């Protein structure tokens, strides 16, 4: 029996795929070697979610894998017109990051409301300065992105007493449509970006949107860096159009050391870590092995991405 060839576009450490021993021929590659090995692969595992090598290598000559899985929620780093138009099935890591990201957003909200960065600064300076902080209960949040991550964020914030409103591509039960976005962010204390990156969402948080927000609002991005016009956000923070922001993802990653974003007043920078909890790589590996077993058994895959929309449809 001919074993299927699994090509892993790697990162360090590599995935644990012990359950596939004797059931697949596993090859590993980096960005530079992907194009040469791609025609030999039946399945491509994009383990390095930061790599954009698939977009460059896919249009080349030769056969292409029947299935591509990315160990990330977003798929914008690999989708190109040729892949979108092909018969290749694309799946993602939907379900792994929902609760961790929701917890991280809740931590950012509490950190901002309770002025914890200032408390740490004063402690370092040995300064005793009493202050008043904001209550979280009773505030409003607008969560942009109605997929599993956005819904988990809304649930977690609701448990803190926050009144969340979800905004998605299509209005439905408990979900507002894009036409309601400006109205909702205009009265929100917390505006959370958790949408996938598509042609419709790219740059959606621009000067207009930051101008609509109230001066006491805090903006949080745990979606994709390209959702945000970073220059417009910088201007909004400098002019104090909004009270603060927290970014966990950026248009260029790692964020260059000379980026002006590091020094913006009221901006908390974190290195794309909101979904990465202890053991997350093992969860991603186990999820892929489960999908591989479904694939080899001829069963329908789950987490199948609509390649035109750029995300897994449904909730």
The set of catalytic residues is 224, 253, 272
Query: What is the rounded CA–CA span in Å between residue 239 and residue 234?
Result: 9
At residue 62, what are phi and psi to the nearest 5 degrees? Answer: 100, 170
Query: What is the rounded CA–CA span in Å between residue 174 and residue 172?
Result: 6
Q: Which two tokens stand for residue 78?
A: 């690999």
For residue 198, the cross-strand partners are: none
Choose among 102, 109, 184: nearest CA to 148.
102
Report yes or no: 94 and 72 within 8 Å, Cβ to Cβ.
no
Q: Which two tokens stand for residue 85?
A: 């138009």
For residue 250, the cross-strand partners are: none
Query: What is the rounded CA–CA span in Å between residue 223 and residue 194?
Result: 4
Q: Are strands 267-269 and 140-144 parallel, antiparallel or unpaired?
A: unpaired
């Amino acid at each position: 029996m001919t074993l299927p060839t699994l090509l892993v576009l790697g990162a360090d450490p590599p995935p644990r795929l012990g359950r596939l021993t004797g059931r697949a021929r596993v090859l590993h590659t980096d960005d530079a070697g992907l194009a040469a090995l791609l025609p030999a692969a039946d399945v491509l595992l994009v383990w390095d979610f930061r790599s954009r090598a698939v977009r460059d290598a896919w249009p080349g000559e030769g056969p292409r894998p029947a299935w591509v899985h990315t160990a990330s929620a977003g798929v914008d780093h690999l989708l190109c017109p040729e892949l979108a138009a092909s018969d290749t099935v694309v799946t993602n890591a939907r379900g792994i990051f929902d609760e961790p990201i929701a917890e991280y957003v809740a931590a950012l909200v509490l950190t901002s409301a309770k002025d914890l960065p200032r408390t740490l600064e004063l402690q370092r300076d040995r300064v005793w300065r009493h202050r008043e902080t904001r209550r979280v209960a009773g505030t409003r949040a607008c969560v942009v992105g109605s997929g599993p991550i956005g819904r988990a964020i809304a649930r977690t914030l609701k448990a803190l007493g926050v009144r969340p409103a979800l905004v998605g591509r299509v209005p439905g039960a408990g979900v507002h449509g894009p036409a309601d976005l400006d109205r909702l962010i205009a009265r929100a204390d917390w505006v959370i970006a958790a949408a996938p990156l598509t042609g419709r969402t790219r740059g959606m948080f621009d000067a207009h949107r930051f101008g609509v927000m109230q001066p006491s609002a805090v903006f949080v991005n745990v979606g994709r860096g390209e959702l945000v016009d970073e220059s417009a956000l910088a201007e909004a923070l400098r002019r104090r159009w909004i009270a603060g922001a927290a970014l966990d993802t950026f248009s260029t990653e790692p964020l260059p050391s000379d980026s002006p974003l590091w020094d913006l007043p009221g901006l908390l920078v974190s290195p794309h870590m909101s979904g990465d909890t202890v053991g997350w790589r093992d969860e991603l590996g186990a999820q892929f092995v489960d999908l591989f077993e479904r694939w080899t058994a001829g069963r329908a895959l789950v987490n199948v991405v609509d390649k035109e929309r750029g995300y897994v449809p449904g909730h």
